[in-house]
Structure 1
Amino acid sequence: MALASTMCVTAMATEKNDTVVFSSPTKVTVMTNDSVQKIKVTGKKGDENFRYEKTVAIDNTKTSTKVIKKLAEDDEKWVLDVGYGWAAPTNTPDGHGFAVFRSNEWFFGVRYCYTPKGATQTYSTGLWCDWRSYVVPTGKVIGKNADGIVGFSKFSENYKKTESEIRIFSLSVPFLFTQKFGKDSNTSFSLGPVVNFNLRGRINNEWTDGDYEMEESIKGIGYRPVTVDFMGILKYHGLGLYCKYSPMSVLKDKTVDGVENPKFKSLTFGLFF
């Protein structure tokens, strides 16, 4: 009974002061996991039958806070985008097709990406500088008449090394939704619209006439100031493939005396970094 009373008093002191001193314990066992720590004392000086056990909860608040903070930082970031592709204009006037592998697009810019904590979906937007070039086959030429209507014809047979193209420069704003194939996956698919603010458009013609190299630049071709594309990107690690479809005609709808601007759209495939 005396021993029981002594142990009871000791335990009460432990609960109140949270400090217990044992003189020459025979054996001390400490067991720890992620949430609790258990201390077991067997025997002490003058009492080999003494037993004491204490379970203490471990506070992981600081560690958890650091992890949560790190995850929050990883959820928001800026990325650099670079792309190069080959354009295939569609809906072109009969007999006036474009040269697919000579028509191209390249762009670069930045995007702000936001990923909700623990999610595999990312939402992003940014700003790209975009250059597009629509080239007609060798021997054909693009021009503009007095009414501002763009048309197609042929270079003189005496001209050599001919090249004719429509060039468009844009500031583009992408709005992309990205889905990763698992939290630890390196593969993702992005989809969304790209709004193009077309700032500059012109026709550029080059040819060689005998010993002379000639170049002609035609402004005021009546391009649309704003167009919308739809873009898809399949990416693995840092390398991706993209497809972009432009359902809106590059040039404005315009008709004078029955002659109208050519209405053509474009489909582009390329590499995305």
Structure 2
Amino acid sequence: MKKFLVAALLAGGLNGWASVRPDTIVVVNHPQKVTIEKSLSSLSVKVEGRGSDQQYYYSERMETDSSAAFLTKEQRTDNWDFKIPFVGKKKQKMLEKNTTDVCFGGFGFGLVSAVGADDGVKVDMGASFELSMDHLLSIHYNLTHSTYVSAGFGMTWRNYRMTGRNRFIQNVDNLQVGPYPEGAQIDFSRLKVYSLTVPLMLHQYLNRDIVVSFGLVINFNTHASLKTRYVLDGEKVCEKSNNIHHNRLTLDLMAKFRFRTLGLYVKYSPTNVLNTEFGPKFRSLSTGITLFY
């Protein structure tokens, strides 16, 4: 309701208002709540809230006789007088347009899977994790009152773990996938990748609490390693390598849904985790939650 207008037009035979001006007009812009009470002898108008001022209060009561005639008019401009689920008011302002903000913090936790993988690469999503703080520093530019773009800097740690019969095997310069030695008691075989990240995102407020985001995350993969553990003939075996020929630069496509400080995200990488000239092919797919963004 953009504007509320009450006109009390009094007829000629009023007893209580004979000496008062015949017309009373009250205009309140952007009222939050308007209550009108009519009876045979009175008219009462209450306005609660005005624009962003929730403390605003206006009240007027007029005593009349039963012959008084009243006209109550509600005037709208370009706003519809109903609400669409998950969509805020058309001109509700969440952001200050054409301004820049600097933000810090945010934490994400998710589960990781391998998609488009070569035979034998069977990553256990329930045992493979992703930890991220990709907005240690983030700069926001507000395009409109409900839309903004951001560029950030952070870090991500990913773990691709296999718990089945196959393991990652380092052979000189190549990384392969193959079975454990016969009779081995299997623990796990995993690849770990540590990345510095630059997320470039577009964010849209649906209302004051809900934000959807889409964008690209650039991963500078500064470190990766292999670790396999099993027991053979009563002896614990741990195989390690820091030379697994991972791709130094990968990309993620990311979508997020956030309600206040809690969010859900999905990330898909169209680029392979490893250099396929030296190791098996697989790409990353992860999903999880975010906090305090």
Shorter-normalised TM range: 0.5 to 0.7
Q: Decide which structure has greater helix share.
A: 1
Based on CA coordinates, which of the two structures has the bigger radius of gyration?
A: 1
Q: Is the 8 A contact 1:189 1:234 kept in 2?
A: yes
Residue 187 of structure 1 is matched in structure 2 by 210
Residue 250 of structure 1 is matched in structure 2 by 273
CA distance in 2 between counterparts of 1:140 and 1:118 reads 52
CA distance in 1 between counterparts of 2:179 and 2:131 reads 28
Q: Which residues of 2 match residues 141-160 of structure 1 at below 5 A?
A: 141-146=167-172, 148-160=173-185
The CA deviation at 1:210 is 5.1
Q: Is the 8 A contact 1:188 1:234 kept in 2?
A: yes
CA distance in 2 between counterparts of 1:94 and 1:265 reads 13
CA distance in 2 between counterparts of 1:75 and 1:126 reads 13
Q: Which residues of 2 match residues 99-114 of structure 1 at below 5 A?
A: 99-109=124-134, 110-114=136-140
CA distance in 1 between counterparts of 2:101 and 2:270 reads 32
Q: Which residues of 2 match residues 126-165 of structure 1 at below 5 A?
A: 126-146=152-172, 148-165=173-190
Residue 59 of structure 2 is matched in structure 1 by none
2:150 to 108, 124, 129: 124
Residue 265 of structure 1 is matched in structure 2 by 283
Once the two structures are overlaid, the 10-residue window that deviates more, 129-138 or 165-174, is: 129-138
TM-score, with structure 1 as normaliser = 0.66
What secondary structure does 2:123 align onto? coil
The CA deviation at 1:211 is 4.8
Sequence identity of aligned pairs in percent?
Answer: 23
The CA deviation at 1:75 is 5.2
Residue 21 of structure 1 is matched in structure 2 by none
Q: CA RMSD in A?
A: 2.5
CA distance in 1 between counterparts of 2:128 and 2:143 reads 42
Q: Assess, with a 3 A threshold, how the Cα gap between structure 1 residues 162 and 186 changes in structure 2: closer, same or farther.
A: same
CA distance in 2 between counterparts of 1:173 and 1:117 reads 20
CA displacement, residues 149-184 of structure 1 (integer Å, 9 cap, x when unaligned): 2111111243224210111111011011110013xx
Q: Is the 8 A contact 1:81 1:111 kept in 2?
A: no
Q: Assess, with a 3 A threshold, how the Cα gap between structure 1 residues 118 and 145 changes in structure 2: closer, same or farther.
A: closer
The CA deviation at 1:262 is 1.1
What secondary structure does 1:247 align onto? strand
TM-score, with structure 2 as normaliser = 0.62
Amino acid at match of 2:287: F
1:79 to 74, 82, 104: 104
Amino acid at match of 1:114: H
Residue 54 of structure 2 is matched in structure 1 by none
Amino acid at match of 1:245: Y
CA distance in 1 between counterparts of 2:256 and 2:119 reads 32
What secondary structure does 1:80 align onto? coil
Q: Assess, with a 3 A threshold, how the Cα gap between structure 1 residues 186 and 115 changes in structure 2: closer, same or farther.
A: farther
Q: Which residues of 2 match residues 200-215 of structure 1 at below 5 A?
A: 200-209=223-232, 211-215=234-238
CA distance in 1 between counterparts of 2:137 and 2:254 reads 15
Once the two structures are overlaid, the 10-residue window that deviates more, 86-95 or 208-217, is: 208-217
The CA deviation at 1:145 is 1.7
Q: Decide which structure has greater strand share.
A: 2
CA distance in 2 between counterparts of 1:248 and 1:142 reads 20
CA distance in 2 between counterparts of 1:173 and 1:115 reads 16
CA distance in 2 between counterparts of 1:94 and 1:161 reads 19
Q: Which runs of 5+ in 2 are unaligned?
A: 1-26, 29-94
